[in-house]
């Protein structure tokens, strides 16, 4: 199966719920939960520091750094367990990825606010390959001009691709939910231009 186009205007967003085999997704989730050095980063908002509501890590090729929401992330080397997935995505997308942002949402109280992945180092029309593991969570999209919204559930082992003009016109977020008691890991493979 290939990822299905969501057919949203001003966007190129594709989704494949069963991108990974369930056993591979289970094994990778377990490995990442224990092998990644998860960090609790803090962010300054309106002059005040807050812990961000999730844990994070950043892995990349040597020499790659990333400034994310004003936060400089220094790269750890790629975890070997992630290399087969990275190679599978590079073959599917026909381009290299040199960086990976990892987010751990410990339960439904962890979340990510509205944003676009539009940092200058991602280039003009970035391709973001987003793999989800663990608890299914709602993912919302909002068109900046029309305020139209769209939502989908990102399943365990799924792949979401955002490409073309998507980041110019749409923001996305992962809302809090009372219903979810289980962890979820999201992996966004990116190409950072140096």
Q: Is 105 in the site for Mn ion (CB under 5 A)?
A: no
Minimum Å gap between C-beta 190 and ligand AKG is 9
Q: Which of 20, 52, 117, 127 touches ligand AKG by CB under 6 A? A: 117
Q: Is 117 in the site for Mn ion (CB under 5 A)?
A: yes
Q: Is 110 in the site for Mn ion (CB under 5 A)?
A: no
Q: Which of 36, 57, 112, 180 touches ligand AKG by CB under 6 A? A: 112
* Sign of the four-CA dihedral 105, 65, 16, 142: positive
Query: Stretches 30-38, 70-78, 113-121, 142-150: which one binds Mn ion (CB under 5 A)?
Result: 113-121
Which does residue 130 bind out of ligand AKG, Mn ion, none, counting CB within 5 to 8 angstroms by kind? ligand AKG
Q: Is 130 in the site for Mn ion (CB under 5 A)?
A: no
* Sign of the four-CA dihedral 8, 9, 10, 12: positive
Residue 86, both tokens: 């990275």
Binding residues for ligand AKG, rule CB under 6 A, total 12
Q: What residue number has its CB nearest to Mn ion?
A: 117
- Cβ(188)–Cβ(101) below 8 Å: yes
Question: Within 13 A of 92's CA, how many CA atoms are on the CB side?
Answer: 21
Q: Is 174 in the site for ligand AKG (CB under 6 A)?
A: yes
Closer Cβ to Mn ion, 67 or 181, answer by number: 67
**Which residues on adjacent β-strands are paired with residue 14?**
5, 161
Residue 193 CB partners (closer than 8 Å, separation 6+): 121, 122, 123
- Cβ(161)–Cβ(129) below 8 Å: yes
Minimum Å gap between C-beta 130 and Mn ion is 8
- Cβ(102)–Cβ(185) below 8 Å: yes
Residues of the shown chain interacting with ligand AKG in the complex, contacts defined by CB under 6 A: 101, 103, 112, 117, 130, 132, 139, 154, 172, 174, 186, 188
């Amino acid at each position: 199966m290939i990822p299905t186009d969501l057919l949203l205007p001003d966007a190129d967003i594709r989704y494949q719920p069963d991108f990974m085999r369930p056993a591979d997704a289970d094994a990778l989730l377990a490995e990442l939960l224990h092998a990644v050095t998860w960090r609790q980063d803090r962010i300054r908002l309106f002059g005040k520091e807050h812990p961000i509501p999730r844990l994070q890590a950043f892995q990349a090729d040597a020499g790659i750094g990333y400034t994310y929401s004003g936060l400089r992330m220094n790269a750890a080397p790629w975890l070997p367990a992630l290399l087969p997935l990275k190679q599978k995505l590079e073959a599917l997308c026909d381009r290299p990825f040199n960086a990976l942002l990892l987010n751990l949402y410990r339960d439904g109280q962890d979340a990510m606010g509205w944003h676009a992945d539009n940092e200058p180092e991602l280039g003009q029309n970035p391709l973001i390959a987003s793999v989800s593991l663990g608890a299914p969570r709602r993912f919302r999209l909002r068109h900046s001009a029309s305020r139209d919204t769209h939502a989908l559930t990102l399943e365990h082992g799924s792949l979401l691709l955002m490409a073309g003009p998507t980041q110019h016109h749409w923001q996305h977020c992962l809302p809090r939910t009372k219903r979810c008691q289980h962890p979820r890991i999201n992996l966004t493979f990116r190409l950072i231009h140096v």
